[in-house]
């Protein structure tokens, strides 16, 4: 059997907090259990939010916690052409289209539609599905708009994508979803509507970059927080469309704050740095999580 490969993939747009430490430790525990390798990936594809000082802080904090990684660190911003290649493949298949509606256009469209009484579908992150009014634009009209400098994002044509899939898609879950989903789990990519594939300031969306990276890095086991459970549905679809291998998935519990909300990077009180400055040892931090 090939050696399993795990990865911890933080985004350098804030300091690591206890939730990240839990995720890194879960990756380390499961990698050790299966004598696998653990890789570190810096998910900095969102160039507008990533900052180099957070990247160095991430490495320092992980080293302080005593978590060791194998092999070289992969930084997404060094591999833009890999994502471009995947996006081009989807465009050539007629599965990606330039979407010209701004956030405000989408909001207006959705409120007008909801004023008639029907709730507009939203994705698992709470964002309204893209109305897709420009999905059917003909090529010359698209080119005219782009030449005239119109802003746009690349979106997946979900209906076209689903029509290419002949058998239901699923994944093997060894953790659990929010409703206890485990074992062989059916993917439901339509939850995401016409998801964003790339933006001007982010050459690939999180969904597109993560499936490309996991394939290139030979990741056999994706271990991450339960907040990304539903994202796996669209990751599985993109893997099918791009002919990529399918890792096993393990979604672990989330650490909640005292109000029952997921910890976030904006909450300084649980950042590893802050706890270190307050005099806690790595062992104390690990005890807080376990």
**Residues at the site binding ligand GLU, with contacts judged by CB under 6 A:** 9-11, 43, 210, 224, 228
Closest approach of ligand GLU to the CB of residue 269, in Å: 19
Q: How far is the CB of 43 from ligand GLU (least distance, A)?
A: 3
CA–CA dist 263, 269 (Å, integer): 10
Which residue has 């690939």 as its token pair?
204
CA dihedral 11, 15, 16, 19 (to 10 degrees): -90
Smaller CB distance to ligand GLU: residue 74 or 142?
A: 74
Task: Give the 3-state secondary structure of 179-238.
Answer: CCCCEEEECCHHHHCCCEEEECCECCCHHHHHHHHHHHCCCCEEEEEHHHCCHHHHHHHH
Q: Which residue is nearest to ligand GLU (CB)?
A: 43
Q: Compute the least distance from the CB of residue 228 to ligand GLU, in Å.
A: 6
Residue number, 210 or 237, with CB nearest to ligand GLU: 210
Of residues 153 and 232, the one with the C-beta less far from ligand GLU:
232
Closest to ligand GLU by CB, 11 or 217: 11
Q: Which residue in 225, 212, 222, 221 sits closest to 265, CA to CA? A: 225
User: Burial level of 24, CB count in 10 A (0-12/13-18/19+)?
Assistant: buried
| Closer residue to ligand GLU, CB minimum distance, 157 or 240 | 240
Taking the complex as a whole, the smallest distance from the CB of residue 10 to ligand GLU amounts, in Å, to: 5
CB of 225 to ligand GLU, least distance (A): 7
CB of 76 to ligand GLU, least distance (A): 9
**Of residues 110 and 237, the one with the C-beta less far from ligand GLU:** 237
Nearest to 26 by CA among 246, 228, 241: 228
> β-pairing, 5-8 with 37-42?
parallel
Two tokens, residue 99: 């979407």
Helix axes 18-33, 52-65, angle to 10 degrees: 60
């Amino acid at each position: 059997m090939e050696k399993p490969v795990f990865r911890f993939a933080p985004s350098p747009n804030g300091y690591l907090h206890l939730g990240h430490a839990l995720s890194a430790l879960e990756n380390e525990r499961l990698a050790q259990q299966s004598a696998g390798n653990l890789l570190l990936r810096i998910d900095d594809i969102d160039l507008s939010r990533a900052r180099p000082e957070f990247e160095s802080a991430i490495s320092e904090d992980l080293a302080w916690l005593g978590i060791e990684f194998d092999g070289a660190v992969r930084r997404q911003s060094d591999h833009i052409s890999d994502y471009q290649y995947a996006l081009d493949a989807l465009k050539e298949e007629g599965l990606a289209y330039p979407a010209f509606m701004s956030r405000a256009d989408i909001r207006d469209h959705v409120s007008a539609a909801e004023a008639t009484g029907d709730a507009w579908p939203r994705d698992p992150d709470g964002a309204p599905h893209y109305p897709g009014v420009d999905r059917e634009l003909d090529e010359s009209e698209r080119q005219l708009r782009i030449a005239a400098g119109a802003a746009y994002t690349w979106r997946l044509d979900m209906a076209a994508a689903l029509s290419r899939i002949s058998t239901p898609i699923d994944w093997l879950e060894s953790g659990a979803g929010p409703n206890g989903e485990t074992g062989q789990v059916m993917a439901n990519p339509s939850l995401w509507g016409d998801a964003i594939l790339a933006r001007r300031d982010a050459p690939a969306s999180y969904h597109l970059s993560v499936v490309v990276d996991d394939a290139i890095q030979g990741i056999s086991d994706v271990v991450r927080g339960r907040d990304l459970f539903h994202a796996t549905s669209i990751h599985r679809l993109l893997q099918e469309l791009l002919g990529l291998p399918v890792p096993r998935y393990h979604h672990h519990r989330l650490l909640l704050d005292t109000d029952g909300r997921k910890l976030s990077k904006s909450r300084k009180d649980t950042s590893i740095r802050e706890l270190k400055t307050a005099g806690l040892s790595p062992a104390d931090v690990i005890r807080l999580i376990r």
